[in-house]
Amino acid sequence: MSGLGGLNKSPQGVVLGLVQLQNPIVVTPDDLAAQTRRVVELVGKARRNLPTMDLVVFPEYALHGLSMDTNPEIMCRLDGPEVIAFQTACRDNQIWGCFSIMEYNFHGNPYNSGLIIDDHGELKLYYRKLHPWVPVEPWEPGNLGIPVCEGPNGSTIALIICHDGMFPEMARECAYKGAEIMIRTAGYTAPIRHAWQITNQANAFCNLMDTASVCLCGSDGTFDSMGEGMFVRFDGTPIAMGSHRPDEIITAELRPDLVREARRHWGVENNPYQFGHRGYVAVKGGAQDCPYTYMQDLVNGHYHLPWEAEVIHTDGTSCGFPSPTRLYRGEELPILPSSQTTKQS
């Protein structure tokens, strides 16, 4: 159902390209500028590579590599030159793009942020990673929730980042807010390969939602990222899977119309609906309570595991980061550009 990688596009289809970007080394502002130019070049390559492509997706850390460097001199801002370059590239090439930035934070550690920009160069979705990969990553926990946006050809799209996809609640929230396609960008390395594949499939099937996921690729001399662009149909079946070749663009056609059809007509395994309508065969409309202790405790600020006191790693000291002293307060929300049309709760 991939339309030969999007070569044969149906009237209802959305063609995505997943860029297995070469893992970069970025230390200085000049490095950042050079890597920005490289990403822009690949936006152009994506358009030339496949005229039917609607949206090109770059992996997490596409600008900054895997160094975890929080140097303010190489952090990005929404109104900075890197984002402006992405907007110009999308407009000039008449293609949507999904990009990754490490975003300067006036109040603490930088955010790990993702952007979706349309083919007119307008910011359509802005997301901050909710679940940094602790204890390895130093990023501030996101405070924007999980937005969705209207994408190409009437689709509804959500974006999550890397470790986010290991929490089933993240994908369920995307579906609950209407996403038919969930993009997952990542910088994962080979030890995560199996978990990457099964969670991409489970996130799709459990939510009747197409998933499109991609990692960085190749070595920076220290870390070897795995590439492995991956499209999964809403029934959990892989449509297309990438290799380990840096800068290869993996493509497929996704069908949001078939996602909508399944969500309306499936009886057995209509998981998103049945989750909130338990046992509707026995009781009218099904039970619509919340029987999950962890959800109730989390909402009430009492989340506590039975083994909580035995957990060893509760900060980033094992990875060389100082133990934090400030409590999470959500921090100040950004002032978004007026062109943003993100649907947020």
pLDDT for 1: 55
Q: 3-class secondary structure for 303-334?
A: CCCCCHHHCCCCCCHHHCCCCCCCCCCCCCCC
pTM of the model: 0.95
Cβ atoms of 229 and 242 closer than 8 Å: yes
- Over the stretch 57-85, which tens digit does the pLDDT of each residue have? 999 999 999 999 999 999 999 999 999 99
Question: Is residue 76 annotated as part of the catalytic site, yes or no?
Answer: no
Cβ atoms of 116 and 157 closer than 8 Å: yes
Residue ranges and CATH numbers for the domains of the chain are 3-275+313-319 (3.60.110.10)
- Over the stretch 15-31, which tens digit does the pLDDT of each residue have? 999 999 999 999 999 99
Cβ atoms of 222 and 147 closer than 8 Å: no
Amino acid at residue number 128: R
Amino acid at residue number 270: N
Per residue in 185-219, is it b (16+ CB within 10 Å) or e — as a string?
bbbbbeebeeebbebbbbbbbbbbbbbbbbbbbbe
pLDDT for 156: 98
Residues 174, 125: Cα–Cα separation, whole Å: 13
Phi, psi of 330 (to 5 degrees): 85, -25
Q: 336 pLDDT band (50/70/90 cuts)?
A: low
Check whether 335 has a pLDDT greater than 90.
no
Q: How far is CA 246 from its chain centroid?
A: 20
Mean pLDDT of 259-265: 98
Mean pLDDT of 50-61: 97
Check whether 193 has a pLDDT greater than 60.
yes
**How many other CB atoms are there within 10 angstroms of residue 221's CB atom?**
7
Residue tagged active-site, from 76, 90, 98, 162: 162
- Over the stretch 231-246, which tens digit does the pLDDT of each residue have? 999 999 999 999 899 9
Question: Which residue intervals of 177-255 are DSSP H helices?
Answer: 193-207
Per residue in 17-36, is it b (16+ CB within 10 Å) or e — as a string?
bbbbbbbbebeeeebbbebb
- Percent of the chain's residues with pLDDT above 70: 96
pLDDT for 331: 73
pLDDT for 337: 57
Q: Which two tokens stand for residue 244?
A: 């380990």
pLDDT for 343: 53
Mean pLDDT of 145-161: 98
Check whether 305 has a pLDDT greater than 50.
yes
Cβ atoms of 212 and 3 closer than 8 Å: no
pLDDT for 329: 86
- Over the stretch 166-192, which tens digit does the pLDDT of each residue have? 999 999 999 999 999 999 999 999 999
pLDDT for 339: 46
Residues 55, 261: Cα–Cα separation, whole Å: 23
Residue tagged active-site, from 82, 98, 103, 129: 129
Phi, psi of 271 (to 5 degrees): -60, -45
pLDDT for 341: 46
Check whether 294 has a pLDDT greater than 70.
yes
First to last CA, the chain: 33
Cβ atoms of 83 and 77 closer than 8 Å: yes
Check whether 342 has a pLDDT greater than 70.
no
Question: Ramachandran region of residue 97, left (φ > 0), alpha (ψ -120 to 50) or beta?
Answer: beta
Question: Is residue 162 annotated as part of the catalytic site, yes or no?
Answer: yes
Identify the CA nearest to 281 among candidates 292, 295, 270.
Answer: 270
- Over the stretch 30-39, which tens digit does the pLDDT of each residue have? 999 999 999 9
Question: Is residue 98 annotated as part of the catalytic site, yes or no?
Answer: no
Identify the CA nearest to 114 among candidates 151, 62, 154.
Answer: 62
Segment holding 83, helix H or strand E: helix 81-93
Cβ atoms of 33 and 24 closer than 8 Å: no
Question: For the CA atoms of 117, 136, 80, 225, what is the dihedral angle to 10 degrees?
Answer: -60
Q: 333 pLDDT band (50/70/90 cuts)?
A: confident
- Over the stretch 199-224, which tens digit does the pLDDT of each residue have? 999 999 999 999 999 999 999 999 99
Average pLDDT, the chain: 95
Q: 119 pLDDT band (50/70/90 cuts)?
A: very high
Residues 310, 305: Cα–Cα separation, whole Å: 10
pLDDT for 209: 98
- Over the stretch 3-18, which tens digit does the pLDDT of each residue have? 788 999 999 999 999 9
- Percent of the chain's residues with pLDDT above 90: 93
Helix 168-176 and helix 193-207: axis angle, to 10°?
A: 30
